[in-house]
Structure 1
């Protein structure tokens, strides 16, 4: 990057530290530190909810998915409006009435301490695992953008987020989230206009949409019902409903945002902000990824967006490299010419020729990625490097620094919220609840800051040892899907099954987790129509693919928890 971009980025990071830490002086007790004295306005809490979910995932992973695949990922978010309405109707009034600090302390009165600790413990495990990925994944890309060692970018993200979260508490987190959300959205909108401005003069927005549609890149809805398909309307509306209900209704990372508001009405409005805004925002970001694909039809792009330095190459591999590179260059030139003709003529013959040229180019790309994977003896995927390459290559000096700052902002807006939530659960559900004496508010306030540092160190350390993933956003949803459905099942028992007791809730929760991990290992062979379980310690035979994709694990876990919870409660009654 240019020194001007470095200056812009440095100023933004310094401002973030100052802005996040200055609210810390207002925290005189743990309610002030962890819940901002329940005084945050609804719009601030709502923007923090959106910023927490967005992360660098939105910047890098979503655009990459749309570029490589299509826009069907938007279906995951179709359930958000329905989830928010249900949460506003049932969970928000319940939390407000209980004056809860965490989502899990409300479980103790009905189901006992063991259920509360088990559920909150699962949250600590799931969020602890996800937090390392949230730091690590964008750090790999930022290391490329900044030409810095990976360790340096991980430490920058992890330490800055830990510092202002430790001093500023949740008020500092929400304050910085608002600014970070603004920077992130500015960067995305500006990039969209740069993409449009750099298309050829005779290729307008309508032509770009025509070309994208010809390639099926604009496909947003898939009506086919298939449990083995990641994204379709059924998984988006039904399976993802359980994911979103659990994420926004029982995950402390999100629940804590609206617990900071003054009353039930304010909390509901903060959630409804996401209900109205999230799907259009996600659609726009996916459209940006699609438009990037059209942009690179007419502008130079490397055969692989990820710069690779092979550790070894044989003469045979070098020959293959040259052949693939030549095939790619010829296909790129041919595709560009045919794209202009297809946009101009809009007939079946021109369209088919363009599609064949595009297929030839992507065949060359896949050959190159496979060759690099062979050389490196590791998976080589450039999905998360597409958008950063565009930023470095095509964004003007000065604005590069601001957009990179947006990626940092997106990463830190999730990390700070998760650190704060992990601290809250650790202190309220575990340390304060299990401590036999009461040393006073000042002690718990100091302990909260210390635990924030501890979680920051754990998350940063785990990020240093974590590998890359094909798509950042899918990894986070996959981790969550192992836990969310089962945790939601416990809250379903709490709210709607009067006969459920602590024994049923606890055994149901453990049974739900066991069912999720078991059925996640169910594989299907399309050729032989066989179903088989293959666990991590055994190698999955060729020809088998997962029979149930991760979104469906959420309703599965919730269903098992409720059924087992009801059965055990009837067989093994228990009074509290």
Structure 2
């Protein structure tokens, strides 16, 4: 990377640390540190929520997802507007009325301390693991930029985010998020413009969409009902609704935003901002990945965007690699010619020739991936390296630094929010609630900052353990889906099931988590129709695939929690009545 780009990047990181830490003076107690004294404007909260959502996972993972597959991933965001409206009518006024620090404080009064602690523990587990993924995402970019091991870059990004979050508190988090959002949007917009600008002169935007559509890259809606499929309209509108309700309504990292609001109307407006903007923004990012695919139809692209170390190759695998490289170059040229022929004459025959050339190219890439897997004896993929490769090899000097800064902005805006939320739950729901001593405000403030550092180190360690993963955008939602449905079930009980008691709620919560685990490990054989439970420590038999995809775990968890809780509560009440007679 050119020294000008380095200067831009270093200046951005320096400004972010300064901007985040200078608000630390406003945090004289834990209400200032965690809730900014409930004084934040609605637009700042709304942009902060969007900045948290538009993480480095969004930049890197979503564009890579669209490049490798298609745009169907946008379907899981179709539920966002519905979820936001429901929350504005239900949980937002509930939280605003009680003026709590934590989303889980409200559970103790109704269901007892055990339910509150266990629910908050599930949050700590889910977001602690998810934060490791969020830290790992931008580390891919740093690893390419600095030519350093992934572990070193994970340490750099994790420690940087922890530093200013520890000092600035939620006020620093929200205010830096607003500025980081502007940098993110510039990066996205320029990448889209530059792809279009660099296409051949006789290929316009409509031609690009036509080529992408011919290959099925523009497929965004799938109306078939199949719970074994990751992305279809039913998954997006129904299953993902439970995920979004739980994430925006019961996840402390999101709830904490509208707990900082001046009023109920401000809290609602901050959520509605995301309701209107999230789906269009996600569609645009996916379209960027599709346009990137079209760009490499005409431009020179490597056989893989992240190759293995040549030192690890034997003479035989090296020879196989050279043969695949030659085949790839020839096929890439063939696909380019087929694309130009199709644009010149849009006939079914030319379209089929173009699709066949594209399929052949994919097969060559897959063969290279398999070759690298044999060399490294581990799973290999390049989904998370596609956008970084484009930025470093195609974007002009000076702008590279700004776009990479945008990816860093996306990463930091997600990491700081999660760290602050994890510290809030640790102090408010656990330490402060269980500590019998009367501590001073300064004591809890120091403890909050220490806890922020502790979670930052733990999350960085989780990122180091995670290493490289196939699709970071999918993985973060999979981690959440293990927990979100069951947590949402407890809040459904809180608001709508008056007969549920503490014993029922806790039993239902545990039952929901156990059920989700078993449903996630359920596999089926498409040909024989047989079903089988396969645990993580066992190998999946050949031909078996997931029977239920991860988004459906959310409604499963919610429904099980409600049914079991109601049943146990009724049984407990009956037993209590008998004992009183």
What's the TM-score bracket when you normalise by the shorter of the two chains?
Answer: over 0.9
Output the TM-score relative to the length of structure 2. 0.98
Q: Answer whether contact 2:515 2:560 (CA < 8 A) is retained.
A: yes
Query: Number of aligned pairs?
Result: 575
Select between 510-519 and 464-473 the one with higher mean Cα deviation: 464-473
Alignment of 1:4-403 (within 5 A): 4-403=4-403
Q: Deviations over 1:237-271 (max 9, x none)?
A: 00000000000000001110111111111000000
User: C-alpha distance in 2, partners of 1:438/1:115?
Assistant: 24
Q: Answer whether contact 2:522 2:533 (CA < 8 A) is retained.
A: yes
Q: Which residue number in structure 2 is paired with residue 567 of structure 1?
A: 567
Q: Answer whether contact 1:84 1:271 (CA < 8 A) is retained.
A: yes
2:54 partner SS: helix
Alpha-carbon shift at residue 321 of structure 1 (Å): 1.6
User: C-alpha distance in 1, partners of 2:62/2:462?
Assistant: 23
Q: Answer whether contact 2:308 2:376 (CA < 8 A) is retained.
A: no
Q: Answer whether contact 2:60 2:137 (CA < 8 A) is retained.
A: no
Q: Answer whether contact 1:310 1:372 (CA < 8 A) is retained.
A: no
User: C-alpha distance in 2, partners of 1:160/1:370?
Assistant: 36
Select between 332-341 and 145-154 the one with higher mean Cα deviation: 145-154
Q: Which residue number in structure 1 is paired with residue 471 of structure 2?
A: 471
User: C-alpha distance in 2, partners of 1:271/1:22?
Assistant: 27
Q: Answer whether contact 2:103 2:252 (CA < 8 A) is retained.
A: yes
User: C-alpha distance in 2, partners of 1:562/1:414?
Assistant: 31
2:372 partner SS: helix
Alpha-carbon shift at residue 179 of structure 1 (Å): 1.1
Alignment of 1:425-504 (within 5 A): 425-504=425-504
Gaps of 5+ in 1: none
Q: Deviations over 1:44-93 (max 9, x none)?
A: 00111111122101110000000000000000100000000000000001
Alpha-carbon shift at residue 307 of structure 1 (Å): 3.0
Alpha-carbon shift at residue 319 of structure 1 (Å): 2.7
User: C-alpha distance in 2, partners of 1:431/1:562?
Assistant: 29
Alpha-carbon shift at residue 152 of structure 1 (Å): 3.0
Select between 153-162 and 18-27 the one with higher mean Cα deviation: 153-162
User: C-alpha distance in 2, partners of 1:531/1:438?
Assistant: 56
User: C-alpha distance in 2, partners of 1:201/1:119?
Assistant: 57
Q: Answer whether contact 2:63 2:286 (CA < 8 A) is retained.
A: yes
User: C-alpha distance in 2, partners of 1:316/1:17?
Assistant: 50
Q: Answer whether contact 1:310 1:376 (CA < 8 A) is retained.
A: no
Alpha-carbon shift at residue 438 of structure 1 (Å): 1.8
Q: Which residue number in structure 2 is paired with residue 419 of structure 1?
A: 419
Alpha-carbon shift at residue 458 of structure 1 (Å): 1.1
Output the TM-score relative to the length of structure 1. 0.98
User: C-alpha distance in 2, partners of 1:152/1:379?
Assistant: 21
Q: Answer whether contact 2:60 2:385 (CA < 8 A) is retained.
A: yes
User: C-alpha distance in 1, partners of 2:69/2:33?
Assistant: 43
State the Cα RMSD in Å: 1.1
Gaps of 5+ in 2: none
User: C-alpha distance in 2, partners of 1:394/1:440?
Assistant: 56
Alpha-carbon shift at residue 346 of structure 1 (Å): 1.2
Q: Answer whether contact 1:38 1:259 (CA < 8 A) is retained.
A: yes
Alpha-carbon shift at residue 185 of structure 1 (Å): 1.0
Change (3 A) 1:288 1:538: same
1:66 partner SS: helix
User: C-alpha distance in 1, partners of 2:318/2:43?
Assistant: 57
Q: Answer whether contact 1:311 1:376 (CA < 8 A) is retained.
A: no
Q: Answer whether contact 1:227 1:548 (CA < 8 A) is retained.
A: yes
